[in-house]
Structure 1
């Protein structure tokens, strides 16, 4: 009886749960019906009753879903019915799919087909012309005339269709102009029927006509075809005559035409294309063909013409229509200004008189931007970004004028200081334009300090004239520290004053500024260390005269170069260890932690390979006393080894601390544990070889290493059993296998009987002990595997 009561109670409980779930379902259905009704109320146009009556029987939303709701509500005996939708609307199918089909069909029929058709037509004309040329069916003059007739006919047909079929007419016109460009080029280049100047003028006419047609049709694609064709003219029609003034005059005319378009149309891709093509062609000529004695005035004239043209092109439509300047407008304006300044600086700097006017040239840049800022201010634009940006350029060039007129590291320092000032104003005073202006200045300052380092620290060979400098007390190191201070200030401002706008750029700045800061701080000391030892190496030259030689032999102390390598590695280990410790104690930045950990591992690998090899060279130099009659071979050749091992141990300890702390990931921890044991075994093997070499043992690379590897594998297995770490036990077994393989393949051939006996007995005993440990602690190993 008791069992029946328990069963009944369980069934009642299950029934209550099902009824509860059914009530929830009914309530959700009612809410969905209400939401559907509200959407239909706001999304459909209610038709008159007469029209709805003519559509036949109507079914309301409530009637469609009434039966399921009632069934759901009646199943549990009296639950409340779902709320009725607030508005009854007739259910009528919405023909969305046919509408999409109709739009797609319209796009294909009115836009895509005609473009494919004109492309096929142009290709067909080209194929037909090529066939006629290959088979000499018609004379060259006839071919050119037929080509022009085809282009003119297509052009006339396009003009005739413009009133009723404007899109189709625009495509035909663009194809006609493409044919005209091609035929003119063929007449000039293939057959020599048209001289260069008439061909040049024809291309200009075609370009002007194309630009005018683009404005009339209001189709940017036509202007692009004309523009690309126009810039292709000087390349296609070039005779390598060196008449660069003709080329630049032509480019100036084309850009003037685009400037005229800019007053009526704001076609960004058109401006961008002309901007990129013009400066690429000018810069290519400047790098490959420019000669100061021939082209100085010409280069400056057209540089100014192009700069002013693009300046007006970028401002014209915005000022006339009072449009807002966005980030790409500002970047293009900045690019135009800095390209003009950079190339102008290079042109003047290579000229005897011009080099004395660099400060005046920089000041003229500031005056030019000041005039533009006054014009912008008088326009009283609601968008003040342009005014702030141009005013910032005035400030930049005024501050640059002084260091440019002077020389040296002042340029870098003022660029860095200017970037810090603009960034502080932009971030704290909420003026984003100033902050954006600071970004290119940061990059310029960084590249400038790299240039200063390359210039100041001189050549790489002892034959070069090395400047005698005092370590840490020289202008380059002081400039590096001031640069670091400026970027540290920027990093602090960026950390304390967080802005909500431009989150993507904020992330980039938050990464790049500390990266530049740490990179500069690292190399400031590294370059000092390297130059100190390089200077000692250059000064160590000894000239020795021999009777049978006309000129004396020169020798240098190569140990000094080895000390340079070791101290750079030691400094790198110390720098990244301190950085990791500071980040762990203060900043707790995981990204910085991972990046710094990567540098620690990389530096450790360099130490294990290049560093230990260099230490062995210092040991050999001490043992052989190479050139000891000229250079001292002291005990520090050996002692530097333990200084380096101490730095390596510090790096390993700090990295281990960070991985156990903020960078807590099992996969990373396992990989680092294995790396640490590899590093320890590597250094122990190197130390064993070191002392065997010191002792003069001839079998240092054979017998001793095999024993060491066997002992260390035993340690790994025992440690893995104790700490329940399977990967250490597996690593120990693999290492033991390598030691055995080395013993049988490499060592045994040259070992004497005693050495063979010791090696085999030692490794055999180790194997027995390892087997004993596995048997004794098999329950621990089994638990580890289960876990």
Structure 2
């Protein structure tokens, strides 16, 4: 019953399609007649135009040019024209899919329907294995024949139909070999090769780029279809080389770039799989052959028109990158030397093209591209010679190359590729850093991990330099989110790379010195960024954040880690000279206070005064505390008594002096926040003194402390009174001068 229903449904669909086709033909004829009439009317209006008064004026001006002289406009003087907008390279793909998606889905559904029909017939034992293969081959040939008859009026539709027929032929040959074993592997390979050759010939004959892409996909997947699991790589790559040569010939004749890109993707996947599964010296030959083929493919327009398109530049970058990775990995696995021979050879090839541009005195896009690729290959060779990590080094250098090419050409695709590649560089670098925890006895600086980090640092510095926007770019770009994020990540990569190298070689030391040195390095790193803030174009918000971080790092470093260092020195675990290294943190603090903060917007909020004052008070107090303990203590046990004595006797005196200093600065500079800080510090000191310290002192210490504090407070009060009088006299004098001026 189902069979009869299916036949009736097919007949009904055929009748409906025939009626629709008849109506469509009538509509096409009517549209053709209307177009011919419109063209005739337009032609007549062009031959006998009506002369308007404005046109008469223009005609008279042309007859008497001396009455209305015109400006001599030359093409090369047209400087104010807006730049031509770059077309998105994905638009043609989306347009093709939008216009032909129904056709693609339809042919795919048809292929599935035929497949299910054949399966149903097999389940019912209607046909044998040979007949099944015959039906598939005849169906594919029939669909190709239908496409042949439709090619004149419906070119794209016919190409997709023909591609579906070719897909049926491939799948039929595959099933006949793998499932039914109707012929040997060699015969199956010959059949798939013939199908590929026929499809390429049809593509060239029909002038269809869509069809040849489908044919190439079938040609590259054919070895997978007939594979038996035995790796016969030489035979496979001879076949792929012939296929790529055919691709190159078609590209040369028809200028179809998508064909070459399809071949490159499949060839690279096959080569990488071979290299990873079974590294052989023979694979080097096919890497070089593929490099030559795709390099010629990328340079076709260069030798024809003396120019490089966006996709050509991208192909040059990718073929150099993938070839270096594959060849280096092969040599490294087989333990051949020298491993840098191929980056050097490729650099020489590109340098020849670079000097060719140089001799032509051309400084256009090809000149910049060949120069950038040459320098990047030489850098890769140097990095690999020092045994840096392969993927991290190459990706880091390639990211800088992509950004350099974007800066020189302005093609946004290279900037997009950079944003895609840069996170991979970071992940690869993190994986490289993990070796610090697995490897022992690495050399200082000259070790694979840090040398790889050095390559990443160099490329990151180049990236940061290239990402500095020009004034023109600032006008056209509303948001620089990705650039700011890349800059922050770049600074972080440089910081972590240097910090890990320093701490790795200190791992045998106690925790105190390691953390102290790490914090000291962090302080100096932020200090250097703040010093170079104008050159690096660091935004005001980031500057404020860095200053706040610097203040809190000073507080943290001067407290716990430095206390650990003092104890290690007293316990003879460290030399006393190590404490001098800790004193270096005062250089950035003093410079920031007097040079950097006055020239920034750090003090826009009142809380900033409290943050910087807290850092200064803590640093001075702890520094004097540690110096006193080191001076009077002989060992760790005696240091406890020294710490207690300092906190009870000397700390109130220090805070009193500091509070007086803050109040003085607040009055002199007319900054109320400093005065508030001074009074708050006095209050804390008084509460500490009378609430705790006085009950812990002996009589002599109590007398000395009170006398000293009393004298300091009286002197401070006297100084404030004098300062207030001076300020009042200056204000009165100023008012009198203004009154005299008014009179």
- Measure how far apart 1:156 and its partner are: 1.9
Does 1:169 find its partner at 2:110?
no
Length-normalised TM-score, structure 1: 0.51
Could you tell me which residue of structure 2 aligns to residue 289 of structure 1?
277
- Measure how far apart 1:501 and its partner are: 12
Asked whether the equivalents of residues 590 and 662 of structure 1 are also in contact (C-alpha less than 8 Å), the reply is no
Does 1:355 find its partner at 2:337?
yes
Cα distance in structure 2, aligned partners of 1:492 and 1:219? 45
Could you tell me which residue of structure 2 aligns to residue 27 of structure 1?
none
1:522 pairs with 477, 495, 508, which one?
Answer: 495
- Measure how far apart 1:120 and its partner are: 2.4
Asked whether the equivalents of residues 248 and 293 of structure 2 are also in contact (C-alpha less than 8 Å), the reply is yes
- Measure how far apart 1:256 and its partner are: 1.5
Q: What aligned pairs does 1:170-249 form with structure 2 within 5 A after superposition? A: 170-249=159-238
Could you tell me which residue of structure 2 aligns to residue 464 of structure 1?
440
Deviation larger for 492-501 or 187-196: 492-501
Asked whether the equivalents of residues 464 and 487 of structure 2 are also in contact (C-alpha less than 8 Å), the reply is yes
1:481-521 deviations in whole A, cap 9, x for unaligned?
Answer: 99989987997899799788997799799869976985576
Q: What aligned pairs does 1:263-274 form with structure 2 within 5 A after superposition? A: 263-274=252-263
Cα distance in structure 1, aligned partners of 2:376 and 2:216? 34
Secondary structure of the 2:182 match is coil
1:365 pairs with 346, 355, 376, which one?
Answer: 346
Does 1:303 find its partner at 2:287?
yes
Could you tell me which residue of structure 1 aligns to residue 240 of structure 2?
251
Asked whether the equivalents of residues 357 and 363 of structure 2 are also in contact (C-alpha less than 8 Å), the reply is no
* Superposition CA RMSD, Å: 6.7
Closer, same or farther: CA 108–139 of 1 in aligned 2, 3 Å: same
Asked whether the equivalents of residues 373 and 401 of structure 2 are also in contact (C-alpha less than 8 Å), the reply is no
Asked whether the equivalents of residues 188 and 199 of structure 1 are also in contact (C-alpha less than 8 Å), the reply is yes
- Measure how far apart 1:338 and its partner are: 3.1
Cα distance in structure 1, aligned partners of 2:98 and 2:437? 68
Secondary structure of the 1:193 match is coil
Secondary structure of the 1:150 match is helix
Cα distance in structure 1, aligned partners of 2:196 and 2:475? 40
Closer, same or farther: CA 178–376 of 1 in aligned 2, 3 Å: farther
Does 1:386 find its partner at 2:366?
yes
Asked whether the equivalents of residues 314 and 333 of structure 1 are also in contact (C-alpha less than 8 Å), the reply is yes
Asked whether the equivalents of residues 210 and 223 of structure 1 are also in contact (C-alpha less than 8 Å), the reply is yes
Q: What aligned pairs does 1:453-532 form with structure 2 within 5 A after superposition? A: 459-460=436-437, 464-467=440-443, 469=444, 518=491, 522-523=495-496, 525-527=498-500, 529-532=502-505
- Measure how far apart 1:308 and its partner are: 0.7
Closer, same or farther: CA 191–413 of 1 in aligned 2, 3 Å: closer
Deviation larger for 642-651 or 128-137: 642-651
Asked whether the equivalents of residues 177 and 185 of structure 2 are also in contact (C-alpha less than 8 Å), the reply is yes
- Measure how far apart 1:176 and its partner are: 0.5
Cα distance in structure 2, aligned partners of 1:193 and 1:414? 48
1:627-678 deviations in whole A, cap 9, x for unaligned?
Answer: x8xx7399999x99x98999999999899959x9547988xx98x9999999
Could you tell me which residue of structure 1 aligns to residue 296 of structure 2?
312
Asked whether the equivalents of residues 181 and 229 of structure 1 are also in contact (C-alpha less than 8 Å), the reply is yes
Could you tell me which residue of structure 2 aligns to residue 701 of structure 1?
none
Cα distance in structure 2, aligned partners of 1:255 and 1:388? 29
Closer, same or farther: CA 177–518 of 1 in aligned 2, 3 Å: same
Cα distance in structure 1, aligned partners of 2:448 and 2:174? 59
Deviation larger for 364-373 or 117-126: 364-373
1:661-708 deviations in whole A, cap 9, x for unaligned?
Answer: 547988xx98x999999999x99xx9xxxxxx9999xxxxxxxxxxxx
- Measure how far apart 1:274 and its partner are: 2.0
Cα distance in structure 1, aligned partners of 2:102 and 2:451? 67
Cα distance in structure 2, aligned partners of 1:396 and 1:579? 27
Secondary structure of the 1:355 match is coil
Closer, same or farther: CA 315–507 of 1 in aligned 2, 3 Å: farther
Could you tell me which residue of structure 2 aligns to residue 328 of structure 1?
311
Cα distance in structure 1, aligned partners of 2:472 and 2:221? 46
Cα distance in structure 2, aligned partners of 1:563 and 1:299? 52
Could you tell me which residue of structure 2 aligns to residue 567 of structure 1?
517
1:547-577 deviations in whole A, cap 9, x for unaligned?
Answer: xxxxxxxxxx6x3x45313431342244224
- Measure how far apart 1:204 and its partner are: 1.9
Secondary structure of the 1:240 match is coil
Secondary structure of the 1:533 match is coil
Cα distance in structure 1, aligned partners of 2:493 and 2:672? 44
1:580 pairs with 530, 551, 554, which one?
Answer: 530
- Measure how far apart 1:175 and its partner are: 1.2
- Measure how far apart 1:275 and its partner are: 1.6
Secondary structure of the 1:575 match is helix
Does 1:346 find its partner at 2:322?
no
Closer, same or farther: CA 424–140 of 1 in aligned 2, 3 Å: closer
Asked whether the equivalents of residues 576 and 596 of structure 1 are also in contact (C-alpha less than 8 Å), the reply is no
Could you tell me which residue of structure 2 aligns to residue 11 of structure 1?
none
Closer, same or farther: CA 224–695 of 1 in aligned 2, 3 Å: same
1:160 pairs with 138, 143, 149, which one?
Answer: 149
Secondary structure of the 1:245 match is helix
Cα distance in structure 1, aligned partners of 2:554 and 2:180? 68
Cα distance in structure 2, aligned partners of 1:425 and 1:124? 49
- Measure how far apart 1:417 and its partner are: 12
1:364-416 deviations in whole A, cap 9, x for unaligned?
Answer: 334434666688899x999963366446655766x56995897579x999999
Cα distance in structure 1, aligned partners of 2:612 and 2:381? 54
- Measure how far apart 1:258 and its partner are: 1.1
Closer, same or farther: CA 447–153 of 1 in aligned 2, 3 Å: closer
Cα distance in structure 1, aligned partners of 2:536 and 2:351? 46
Asked whether the equivalents of residues 258 and 271 of structure 1 are also in contact (C-alpha less than 8 Å), the reply is yes
Cα distance in structure 1, aligned partners of 2:143 and 2:456? 64
Could you tell me which residue of structure 2 aligns to residue 278 of structure 1?
267
Could you tell me which residue of structure 1 aligns to residue 720 of structure 2?
none
Cα distance in structure 1, aligned partners of 2:436 and 2:470? 43
Cα distance in structure 1, aligned partners of 2:162 and 2:461? 59
Asked whether the equivalents of residues 324 and 383 of structure 1 are also in contact (C-alpha less than 8 Å), the reply is no
- Measure how far apart 1:301 and its partner are: 0.5
Cα distance in structure 1, aligned partners of 2:106 and 2:406? 53
- Measure how far apart 1:227 and its partner are: 1.8
Secondary structure of the 2:337 match is helix
Cα distance in structure 2, aligned partners of 1:632 and 1:121? 82
1:26-75 deviations in whole A, cap 9, x for unaligned?
Answer: xxxxxxxxxxxxxxxxxx99999xxxxxxxxxxxxxxxxxxxxxxxxxxx
- Measure how far apart 1:262 and its partner are: 0.7
Length-normalised TM-score, structure 2: 0.53
- Measure how far apart 1:309 and its partner are: 0.9
Cα distance in structure 2, aligned partners of 1:233 and 1:486? 41
Asked whether the equivalents of residues 321 and 398 of structure 2 are also in contact (C-alpha less than 8 Å), the reply is no
Cα distance in structure 2, aligned partners of 1:502 and 1:300? 49
Secondary structure of the 2:440 match is coil
Cα distance in structure 1, aligned partners of 2:466 and 2:263? 39
- Measure how far apart 1:590 and its partner are: 5.1
Cα distance in structure 2, aligned partners of 1:283 and 1:505? 41
Cα distance in structure 2, aligned partners of 1:373 and 1:644? 49
- Measure how far apart 1:194 and its partner are: 3.4
Could you tell me which residue of structure 2 aligns to residue 761 of structure 1?
none
